[in-house]
Structure 1
């Protein structure tokens, strides 16, 4: 499958460009999914308090031998704060609970899950994040679903940009303004729903399928490779070992310039997920 490249962050950390997402994986199933992913070569796991499966992730890390010791250093582990627990003291209490569920001494990245501009507490939350980083319990600070106005406000109030902005990003919803803003300020872009929950596999009147056949790969691999060549961090989800292997096998082919242009042309006006201006998660 080749070596998964690392993406350098603005704080000097390096994150594996491909990770495993576990959204909507039941807690009792998550340990086996995580163990399988680590066995096939993933070294980046992305979860969240709101997913309700941090304990399952923790069990999977134990079963695979990545919860502590030297092997823990080879793993990138991300989790996210519930929106209902934003704030200074509430964030610190939440993190204590989350780290206990995960069963590890630190997380590599802690993220604000949604900006909730209608109930903005990111400034106080960030102060708690900064304390956790200073204590060595968190290595990197990130956000999810932040638009340029949210990133600008966070910077104005804290003097800092996050290392990563995790956003919905796929061929039919490319968020070019947000991506450009992040790149100009050294914020790495991470894509969730990188395949639009499977919808983009059929986008563009079969263009993805035609590109896939020309390379002898699957349509999913074509889209994930497009992300890779754009420098985007991706966290595709799969509970099946064969599909986990396929989603990691992205480094034996390259897309041509005309193929990139064809995928770029699939951009559209409709997201698959929620609006960061109005949504809150947990």
Structure 2
């Protein structure tokens, strides 16, 4: 791979291991600049692990990764990251604007004292996500979808070129899921940035994504929905027979008579200890200084 500027992310023969288990095994794919990529796969397939590797938080066991044509480094300012968040924000009394500002100057606790440049950048990202009305309200009074809007604003500080969004739809109802996906797509198009958006289920992303990256069984498949979401490809990635049904504009991935994403929700990713080993300095995306900065490919 050449590191050409039209490629945002280049993964070449990458092996990633956790606890002695290969999460990815000799995987290769290329994400083009300005693409919206849905990242899917069964529990433990490596969605979060891949994002952590892109952030430079997890060493590669083999191969190479380039972001914007450069080798990955921890603290890459060209990458905005929204970690998976399940609890903790709902009870916080910090105002929305202060919450966003914390990510700009690295303060995790307390009210930050921002300079003019940071205040201007906070205003810019609040405008981008249409969240000025939330700025004066405490997080504890906001809905899950509204809090996700502020988390997206945090990710956009500093004008990153790539956004890594780890399961931003978890715990949101369908209406708020649609709102978050539409917002990310609008901002992505407006800024011409690259988005990797991981999710348990494909359907909320169907009308927004350009291509889908499906991980499973140590492998990666990147292509259009019609190329990747097929019985042969998914059966290979799951390591067992998979059926794909299309009904009224929705896609259902089935193992026998059970829908795959329902199995995934039964025990959320990371509960087996393989998938999630968060670097807690990035847990809430507050440390902006450490925000880490195609063809159809089957591996």
TM class by shorter chain equals 0.3 to 0.5
Q: Which structure shows the bigger proportion of residues in helix conformation?
A: 1
Q: What is the TM-score of this pair, normalised by structure 1?
A: 0.38
Q: Which structure shows the bigger proportion of residues in strand conformation?
A: 2
Task: Give the number of the structure with larger relative contact order, counting CA–CA contacts within 8 Å between residues 6 or more apart.
Answer: 2
